[in-house]
Structure formats: C-alpha cells, structure tokens
Structure 1
Amino acid sequence: MPSRPLFAASQTTLSTSFSTSLATSLATAVAACLLGLAAAPAIAQVAPVEKGFTLEKVADFGHQVTGVTVAEDGRVFVNFPRWTEDSPVSVAEVKDGVATPFPNEQWNAWRNARKDELSPGEHWVCVQSVVADKQGNVWVLDPAAPAQGPIVPGGPKLVRISLASSAVLQNIRFDESVATQGSYLNDVRFSPDGKWAYITDSGVRGAIVLVDLATGEAKRLLDGDPSTQPKKGLVVTADGKPLRRPDGKGIEFAADGIALSPDGQYLYWQAIKGDTLYRIATRVLVEEGWRGDDIGGRVETVGRNGVADGLLIDRGGKHMYITSPEDDSVKVRNLQLPGSLPRVVIRDERLRWPDTFSQGPDGVVYVTTSRIQDSAFFKPGAPIALPTSLWRLKNGK
C-alpha cells in the first residue's frame, strides 16, 4: 500500500515574537503565576519571559501525536499512540509533507479489532516515544497499553531500527516483571556509549526502567520512590481550571519527562503530576541499582519546574527545555546555575499541551502539541481523531 499523508504541511510560517518590554513581561509572568497559585498551589515560580524566540509550525496531523525525534541526518520521525482512537499509523517518517509508515506498512498493521490475528510483539500496539541515537538508529518505545488501559500481553517492547536500511535490528521485549499491569512505559534516553537505556514509567506506580542493551535484560529501579510518583495534593490545571475526567478523576501520571546530560553522567526526570525536577548519577543506576541496592537516598532534587511533560537538555549541556502544559508555554532552566529559576521562552495559545522535544543537528528544537486537555478523555464530545501539530522553536537573538 502506498504511503499516505497524515497531515497537510504548513505553507505559511506562524511566528510569535516576544518583543514586549521588561515591565510587560514581568506583569504577565506575575499574573500567570498568581493564577497558577490560585488553581494549583504547587506551581513553580518562573523568571520573566525571554525575548527573541519564535514559534514556527512544521506540520498539522490528523491524529494525536506525542513523540518526535530528529536524527543526525536531519530526518524527522513522529509517533501516534492509540489513546482515544485506533490510529491507522503508529510510527512515521515525515518528509515533504507526507508521513510514511516506518519502518514499513506491516509493523503498522496492528489494529484493536485484529489483535488476535497479528503478534503484538512484532507490530506497533500503542507507541509512546521515538528517539534517534547517534549510532544511526531510531528506537521505538511501545508500552502496548491502548487507551492507557490494560497491557496487551507480549506487546511491551523497545525496538531498534536502522536508519540506513529501515531493518529491525533489535527487539527487546519486556515481561510482566518490568511492564507490570498498570505500567505505561513513557520515554527513553540512551547512554552515549550505547550500553544502557533509561525509561520512565508514568503508570500507576512510577519507576525508572534500566535496560542492558547488549543482553536485553531490564530492571525496575526507584519503583515507588517519591521522586517517581505523582505528587499528593497537586492539581493539574488547563485553561485556568482543574483538569478532570467526567468521573472527577484528574491527571495522575507518574515519572514521565526524562533527560540525560550529554556526557551521560546524570539522568533527570519529573512526574507530570508533580512540580519538582530530580536527577541521579547514572553510575549509581548501573552499579548500585543494577545489583539491587536501595538507591532512593542517592536521588537529588534539582528544583521546581512547575507541572511539566517533556524535558530536553541541549547539545551544549547548559540548558534544559521544559514543556509547561498548564499555561501553553516552554521554559528553559540553566543547569549551570544551581537555584536559578526556569524562565519562559515562549508562551502561545497554539501550544496546546506541549509534549515532547527533539533537537536537530542544526540546533533547532522541535516540540509536539498533543492537546491532552482537549481529548475525549476529558471532553467526551471531542473528536476521537484529535488534530495536533509539530512546531519548531527558534531563538532569533
């Protein structure tokens, strides 16, 4: 079957330039902060809006997107989880306004109605993340939990695909000791030497999953540790109001956003229902954690980000980009200035639940908007196939 467009590429550049005065920026930041404090007391304080950043639309999608990755050769890949619909394509390469199923049609052939016909171990079930490494591969993380419900047996996996040939080179399958019922394997980062993968579990019991890429063996670390759990008493808001489902249940996602320092020395993470950024030395994970030691006391508190989803440390290792879904913004934290406040670099109503980041080889940062607050989970009358977008952030300074 020929490839088909999942979106119409934007023919016009949409940009937002922050050129207001410092006084206006301060007033806006203070007002937003006060609003956030009224709705959710745990929201973090931020510095004034930074000047000079612009927002450019790359593409519109006909389905709910989460992950994006830009490979070293500039190729762009995205994924569409099966949250509120049986998505026709789960993983795609974006090129010239067309999204081509990746690595092929067959891997994208699984459907809810055909789950008894196709093996969930060799097909995409509910993909949450795509990440390109620097060794010429794209990795696909599949928690295999459609609608964020029960895991499809045999479906959870981490798959390595060659950029050069589109061949599947490795398929690491996770059993119930790693992908427990109630788990939702969310995002992944890879050690610079290619030996380890670090995965967040944002399900009912948060954890960091450590994977030995040579053997495929995986272990749950910091399972139940306060740093990986939703924060009690915190209420995630959207449009200035608590974000709740019709049954009254709010956002309960555990460890979600994840980032690795470029030198591979520190792993960072944060729960969505949380406001605090944590980190741990990776040597503690691969040595003490791997052998079964209690490493909860080795977790470090970096600071408060406010409610956040995606995290990205830039290639220089100095700055961390943070999505802020409560106020349609992106923040940046200077990791070299301990105790400094994250600052808003762009706020725009079109950033409806900014979700996942990737930085291209040219330094441009990409971000998806998954519009979680507009989905059928929270708005029963919402379209099942929710249109979403991919954007570029450019620093005009």
Structure 2
Amino acid sequence: MTDRRTLLTGALLLAGGPALAAPEANSGAHSEVSASRPVGGLELALAADAPSTPTGLAISRSGRVFVMMPRFTAQVPITVGEVMPDGTVTPYPDAQANRPDPGRPQASLFHVPNGVFDRDDTLWLLDAGLPEGKGAPVPGGAKLVQVDLGQNRVLRVVPLDSGITPTSSLNDLRVGSRDGRPVAYITDQGQGEEGAILAVDLQSGLVMRRLDGHASTKSQKGIVKFVEDRPVMQTKGDGPPQHPKGGANGIALSPDGTRLYYAPLMGRRLYAVETAGLLDPKASDAAVAATVQDLGEKGMTGGLTTDSQDRIYLSLQEHNAVGRREPDGRISVLAADPRLVWADTFWITPDRWLYVSAAQVNRRPEFNGGRDLQKPPYAILRMRIDADPVDGR
C-alpha cells in the first residue's frame, strides 16, 4: 500500500507560495481534496492530514500553518498542531502540552477550538478546558495561552475561569487593542441554548462576561442547518436525532477595533456590539445590550473575519461557499467549491490571500448515527482578495 505521507506530498498548487503543498489526485479518501481545477475562484492551498476535526486555522507572517482540533472525545490525540509542508500535522508546541492533565490545568491543553496571531506575530490559543467536548470545564483549564513562535514556548497563560459557567463551551477568539491596551474577545457557544461573549483586558487579566443570555448570543429556535444536501442532526446516547444547538460562535473585529461582529452557530442573523462597553467594567449589562445591532440575514455560518475595508467574510456552510457582506449590508457569494465541506475558520495573510478551512464537522459520528464519515486529509482552500487583514488596533 502506498504510504500515506507519499500521497500527501503531491504537486505544488501555490505558484510562488512558500512550502504549502497540495496532494495529487488519488483514488479513495484523498480524492476529496484532489488538485483538480479550482471551482468558483478557490484553490487548494494545503491538505492537512490531521488526526481529528480541524476547526481552527491560523497562519503566521512567515507562512507557518497551525490547526486547532477540539477534543470532542477523549480519544482525540492532540488539540493543537502545526501543518508541515507535506501535510502531516505535528503536536504544538509539543506533545507534552497536548496531554490533558486536570492536575496541571494551566500547563496542558484540553480543548482548543481556535487560535489567532496578534500584531507581534505571537500565537494566542483559546482553551475551553473541556475534557471531552462536554460537561463542566476543568477548574483552571479555560484559558488563553500566548506562545512565542521563535522559541516555540509558552509566554503567558491568562485564566478565564471568572468568565465561564458550568455549561460554557468557548469557541472563537479575536485579539486586538483598545485605547492602547491589549484586549481579547471570546465567544461562548454554550452547551445548550445560552451563549455569551467574554471581553478580556490582557494587561490586567480582567475577564468580563457580557450579553449572557441575550437574544443575539442564544441558539435560535426552529433553525435547520443543511450541509452536503442533508439536515445536520445530532444523536446523544440512545435518544432520537435532534437539531444541534449553538449560541455565539463566529466573531470578527472592525478595522478600527470599535465594533465586534458575531453570530450564533444556530442562527441566520449577524450582530454587532460596541467594544467600549464590552471592556468597561463599570458598564451595566443593559448599557452593553443597548449597543447591539441586528445587521440582518447572513445565512448559516461558522467562522467570520473582516478585511481592512470593514467587509465581513461569511463561511456559508450550507452552500460550500465563501460570502462577503459589504458595509452597506449587501451580501455576495465570492466562491463555491465542493471541497469546502463545513467551511469554518478564515485567515487573511498580508499578501491578500483569504484562507478557509474545511472542517467536515457534519461528517462526525455524532451527526451520523455513530458512523465517522470524515475523509482526511482536510482541505485548506484559498482565494485572492483585494484588501488587507485587520489587526484590531
């Protein structure tokens, strides 16, 4: 049998791109991300042979690619990995850090759904502290972890315990600055219908839980999500299939850092809130809620991101597509590709490439009666855009 790594080596699709290799077309699972002619403007940047579902994606300025694999079950071997040029994924920052240890909650990674780079090109990882994707977070396990790429070592850990609940499921992260101080924003998707947003002053370590139970952060009732021509239905134990729930999920920052865009996983509307109130410990919940804007319909999405023109990119999961919302509210579909199965996390590089991960979440066992229909390697696609990334200043 041909060695799996050999199948991943393949021909380069990235003309002039640094060490991001794509696989050759092969039979079997690898045909899912074959180097066929791009459809609708997307091309295959990399096929990540990840050991589990890679929902998160972050790319450094030097071109290093990282994926985050939430520990949906205890069997997930690593939760953060670096994607090598041949598509293999190695534990990051090392194997030891990826071994969950409730006795050392600040020193080990439990369930990392996402990570981002700041303006200094240091990596921030969001750890939800969940031992196997559900249940109460491990005490001390929910945290932000700052990693120095030069030395591949942890610089700082910011505990998030004061901002979470026993049913929290932290999901997405943005790091920026506000009034000259470093800040972070985190969505709490929750494990039921409730959601929230966490605002973190990275200078003091103060964590504020905002919009807890607000209509804009809740899982919306009566919503059906279709992916790959099928409704996404979740099975828990011996119970009947149910529509999944999910509160505040994707987030993005405006170029000037004054507004945070967000949306529930199970919801078709996009919202915005002023960051000044999120970060002000003296602001009441009512005052923060008063700044929430309903920006209208945007389709069923996972991850969001913004560019320097304040345009919001939408992972249109029901259409295997990338959409974009203009500041005036107009939405267009930029590209579609059958390889973009469960479009999830975006990343914009300084040379104006928009990357998006295909996480295949809908193919996981809990959505298919216990059958694992995921087909590694997982596609990371990209397309050219005409704007720069946002640094959240």
TM-score normalised by L of structure 2: 0.82
Task: Please report the RMSD computed on the Cα atoms of aligned residues, expressed in angstroms.
Answer: 2.4
- Matched with 1:277 is 270
Whole-Å separation in 1 of the counterparts to 2:243 and 2:364: 13
Give, as a single letter, the amino acid of the residue that structure 2 aligns with 1:281: E
Aligned equivalent of 1:201, options 172, 175, 188 = 188
Q: Which residue of 2 aligns with 1:11?
A: 23
1:18-167 equivalences in 2 (<5 Å): 18=40, 53-61=41-49, 62-84=51-73, 86-97=75-86, 98-110=88-100, 115=101, 119-150=104-135, 151-167=137-153
How far, CA to CA, are the matches of 2:253 and 2:284 in structure 1?
22
Which of 174, 177, 180 aligns to 2:165? It is: 180
Q: Residue type of the partner of 1:367? A: V
Q: Which residue of 1 aligns with 2:18?
A: none
Measure, in 2, the Cα distance between the counterparts of 1:304 and 1:381: 33
Instruction: Kindly state the Cα deviation for residue 76 of structure 1 after the two structures are TM-superposed.
Output: 1.4
| Cα pair 1:55 1:392 within 8 Å, conserved | yes
Identity of aligned residues (%): 32
Going from structure 1 to structure 2, the CA distance change for 1:96 and 1:240 (only over 3 Å counts) comes to closer
Give how far 1:280 is off.
1.5
Q: 1:262 to 1:95 in 2, by over 3 A?
A: farther
1:24 aligned partner: none
Q: Which residue is 2:241 aligned to?
A: 248
Aligned residue type for 1:285:
L
In the other structure, the counterpart of 2:155 is 169
Alignment pair present for 1:395 and 2:384: yes
Deviation at 1:369, TM superposition (A): 1.3
1:361 Cα deviation after fit: 1.9
Query: Would you say the 8 A contact 2:110–2:127 is kept in 1?
Result: yes
How far is 1:84 from its partner? 4.0
Which amino acid in the other structure matches residue 145 of structure 1?
A: L
- Is the contact between residue 64 and residue 386 of structure 1 (CA under 8 Å) also seen in structure 2? no
Give 2:93's aligned amino acid.
P
The equivalent residue for 1:32 is none
CA contact (8 A) 1:93 1:99 kept: yes
User: CA 1:285–1:396 in 2, change beyond 3 Å: closer, same or farther?
Assistant: closer
CA distance in 2, matches of 1:308, 1:293: 27
Summarize the Cα distance change of 1:104–1:357 in structure 2 as closer, same or farther, 3 Å threshold.
same
Render the CA deviation track for 1:4-25: whole Å, top value 9, x for unaligned.
Answer: 979935334344243xxxxxxx
Displacement of 1:215 = 1.8
What is the deviation of 1:384?
8.5
Q: For residues 279-315 of structure 1, give each alpha carbon's deviation from its aligned partner in whole angstroms, at most 9, with x where no partner exists.
A: 112122223x65434221210122210111110112x
Amino acid at match of 2:117: A
The AA in structure 1 aligned to 2:355 is Y
**Number of matched residues?**
349
- Distance, in Å, in 2 between the alignment partners of 1:148 and 1:386 is 21
Structure 2 partner of 1:37: none
Structure 1 residue runs of 4 or more that deviate by more than 4 Å after TM superposition: 4-7
Asked whether the equivalents of residues 48 and 380 of structure 2 are also in contact (C-alpha less than 8 Å), the reply is no
- CA gap 1:230/1:284 in 2 versus in 1, 3 angstroms: same
SS at match of 1:268: strand
Deviation at 1:83, TM superposition (A): 1.2
Q: 1:387 to 1:179 in 2, by over 3 A?
A: farther
Q: Tell me the secondary structure at the aligned position of residue 230 of structure 1.
A: coil
Q: How many angstroms apart in 2 are the aligned matches of 1:325 and 1:368?
A: 11
SS in structure 1 of the partner of residue 256 of structure 2: coil
Change in Cα spacing, 1:317 to 1:85, as seen in structure 2 (3 Å) is: farther
The alpha-carbon deviation at position 169 of structure 1 amounts to 1.2
Cα deviation 1:20-79 (Å, max 9, x = unaligned) = xxxxxxxxxxxxxxxxxxxxxxxxxxxxxxxxx222141132421010011222221111
The answer as to 2:287 corresponding to 1:265 is: no
1:16 is aligned with what amino acid? P
Write the deviation string for residues 206-241 of structure 1: whole angstroms up to 9, x where unpaired: 111011101212010011111111112222223344
Aligned with 2:301: secondary structure?
coil
* Distance (Å, rounded) in 2 between the aligned partners of 1:347 and 1:108: 34
Q: Is the 8 A contact 1:308 1:322 kept in 2?
A: yes
8 Å CA contact 2:174, 2:184 repeated in 1: yes
| Counterpart position of 1:325 | 317
Deviations 1:304-361 (A, max 9, x none): 10111110112x23422110112211111112xx231x21112222111011111122
Q: Tell me how far 1:146 sits from its aligned partner.
A: 4.0
The answer to whether structure 1 residue 303 and structure 2 residue 296 are counterparts is yes
Q: C-alpha displacement at 1:264, in angstroms?
A: 0.9
Cα distance in structure 2, aligned partners of 1:329 and 1:126: 27
Equivalent-residue separation in structure 2 for 1:146 and 1:138 (angstroms)? 22
Q: Is the 8 A contact 1:64 1:388 kept in 2?
A: no
Structure 2: distance between partners of 1:386 and 1:328: 16
